[in-house]
Amino acid sequence: MDIRVAGVTKEFGDLAALHDVHLDVRPGELLALLGPSGSGKTTLLRTIAGLVQADRGQVLFGGLDATHLPVQKRQVGFVFQHYALFKHMSVADNIAYGLQVRERAKRPSRAEIRRRTSELLDLVQLSGYENRFPAQLSGGQRQRVALARALAVEPRVLLLDEPFGALDAKVRKDLRAWLRDIHERTGKTTVFVTHDQDEALELADRVAVLNLGRLEQVGTPDEVQDQPATPFVMTFLGQATRFAADIRDGKVLVNERGVRADARDLAAGKASLYCRPWHLRPTPAGQGNFQGIVSGTRRLGSIRRIEVSGDDGTRLEVEIPLEANLQPGEQIGLEILDGVVFPDHWTPR
Ligand code: ATP
């Protein structure tokens, strides 16, 4: 089932939590809504679910307008950050709940409910846990029950709001692989909210990056990382250093020395060049685009991260191979190998 969000705006008082958001979720894809706190991720997910009513714009499911369809009729499965399991019900009863409360004509037989519950327990790898109560489960196990419960009613789409947000780092990581696997087995169109870049990039087919209620880019993990559409996407998805640059004759210059970044579509003038650590290479002092002094070095597994204080007062971090043995106090140059250029006075659409 595909989902279309068409020009959705949602205001709370003076604050635009969502501003003219357009988003197409493809059938069967796993899409991450990624952004910092307050960027509008939850509001967008809840608008898709029907828990929030948009001020403007539409939400379509499978091409049909669902904007005014109440939440019960949207056939969405929802999992929240804080497991909303029924404490007094067993795991099996929690999973079966959505089927048990259906009106008589639509309710499957008891045998059918048992069969489906056992299938779902198997899917979320909790067979043998059916008679436990939520208090007897770990946080990760509870979220797996919550997902099984959401899937039990065979929703058209699955909406997950920071499903692993309350869990510790190790459990979160295990559950990522697990969710990816479940997604591949069910093929259910899934939208999940996260503020964790690694989680989004590792799990999702495509990532939708939100900032201050605006959708800044939608793309595959490779696209948003390698071809960021905005400076925000560039800096939010990883370590990035900004250099003041000039565009002249279709070329990028930093401190009057050329850089091999792509500037074909840019008009001449002032610009910003954003570089990942691996776009920068230390050179002997006096060479390269940037001059400074090594002010610190730190080993990060198989690479070394050095901090450079520039002669112009800027500070930046560069990742270099371990063998390059630079010491604090050393005067060096930096050659800029590549980067992403944005003209200054740039505004998002
Ligand atoms: P977080 O990661 O912190 O949950 P988020 O990206 O999910 O953040 P939202 O919860 O969608 O962000 O909130 C977007 C903005 O809308 C925030 O500034 C928030 O304070 C505001 N907001 C959300 N819901 C309401 C509400 N019911 N009433 C007033 N303001 C709200």
Strand, coil or helix: what is 327? coil
Q: Residue 177 falls within a domain, yes or no?
A: yes
189 lines ligand 1 (CB under 6 A): no
Q: Answer yes or no: do 130 and 255 share one domain.
A: no
CATH number (domain holding residue 320): 2.40.50.140
This prediction's pTM: 0.88
DSSP secondary structure letters along 64-82: EE-TT--GGGS-EEEE-SS
With beta carbons less than 8 A apart as the criterion, state whether 336 and 288 touch. Answer: yes
DSSP secondary structure letters along 1-45: --EEEEEEEEEETTEEEEEEEEEEEPTT-EEEEE-STTSSHHHHH
Q: How many domains does the chain have?
A: 2
Last residue of a domain, one of 204, 235, 266: 235
Distance CA 218, CA 54 (A): 21
With beta carbons less than 8 A apart as the criterion, state whether 201 and 207 touch. Answer: yes
Q: Answer yes or no: do 53 and 156 share one domain.
A: yes
Distance from the CA of 212 to the center of ligand 1, in angstroms?
10
Q: Which two tokens stand for residue 245?
A: 């640059």
Q: What per-residue confidence (pLDDT) applies to 301?
A: 86
Q: Answer yes or no: do 257 and 317 share one domain.
A: yes
Q: Which residue, by CA, sits nearest to atom 30 of ligand 1? A: 12
Mutational test site, ligand 1, from 12, 160, 210, 216, max ligand atoms within 8 Å of CB: 12
Q: Answer yes or no: do 18 and 143 share one domain.
A: yes
Report CA dihedral (323, 328, 333, 339) to the nearest 10 degrees.
70
Q: Answer yes or no: do 32 and 131 share one domain.
A: yes
Q: Residue 227 falls within a domain, yes or no?
A: yes
Distance CA 107, CA 97 (A): 11
Q: From 119, 140, 160, select the one nearest 34 (Cα to Cα).
A: 160
Expressed as residue numbers, the domain containing 140 is: 3-235
Q: Answer yes or no: do 145 and 275 share one domain.
A: no
Distance from the CA of 31 to the center of ligand 1, in angstroms?
20
Residue 44 to residues 39, 157, 210, Cα–Cα distance (Å):
10, 15, 10
228 lines ligand 1 (CB under 6 A): no
53 lines ligand 1 (CB under 6 A): no
Q: Residue 16 falls within a domain, yes or no?
A: yes
Distance from the CA of 215 to the center of ligand 1, in angstroms?
15
Q: Answer yes or no: do 19 and 126 share one domain.
A: yes
Last residue of a domain, one of 207, 235, 263: 235
CATH number (domain holding residue 191): 3.40.50.300
37 lines ligand 1 (CB under 6 A): yes
DSSP secondary structure letters along 112-144: HHHHHHHHHHHHTT-TT-TT--GGGS-HHHHHH
Distance CA 237, CA 226 (A): 10
Q: What per-residue confidence (pLDDT) applies to 292?
A: 95
Burial of 231 (0-12, 13-18, 19+ CB in 10 A): middle
Q: What per-residue confidence (pLDDT) applies to 325?
A: 79
Residues paired with residue 325 on neighbouring β-strands, in sequence order: none
Q: Answer yes or no: do 42 and 119 share one domain.
A: yes
Q: Report ipTM for this prediction.
A: 0.96
Q: Answer yes or no: do 229 and 247 share one domain.
A: no
Q: Answer yes or no: do 326 and 299 share one domain.
A: yes
Quick one: how far is CA 131 from the chain centroid?
35
Ligand 1 atom closest to residue 46's alpha carbon, by position in its atom list? 11
Q: What per-residue confidence (pLDDT) applies to 54?
A: 96
Phi, psi dihedral angles at 11 (to 5 degrees): -115, 140
Quote the DSSP letter at residue 108.
P
Distance from the CA of 42 to the center of ligand 1, in angstroms?
7
14 lines ligand 1 (CB under 6 A): no
Q: Residue 153 falls within a domain, yes or no?
A: yes
Phi, psi dihedral angles at 226 (to 5 degrees): -90, -30
What does the pLDDT profile of the chain (349 residues) look like in tens digits? 999 999 999 999 999 999 999 999 999 999 999 999 999 999 999 999 999 999 999 999 999 999 999 988 889 999 988 767 999 999 999 999 988 888 888 888 889 999 999 999 999 999 999 999 999 999 889 999 999 999 998 999 999 999 888 788 888 888 888 899 999 999 999 999 999 999 999 999 999 999 999 999 999 999 999 899 999 999 999 888 899 999 998 899 999 999 988 777 788 899 999 998 888 899 999 999 999 999 999 998 888 899 999 988 888 888 888 887 789 999 999 999 999 999 886 555 4
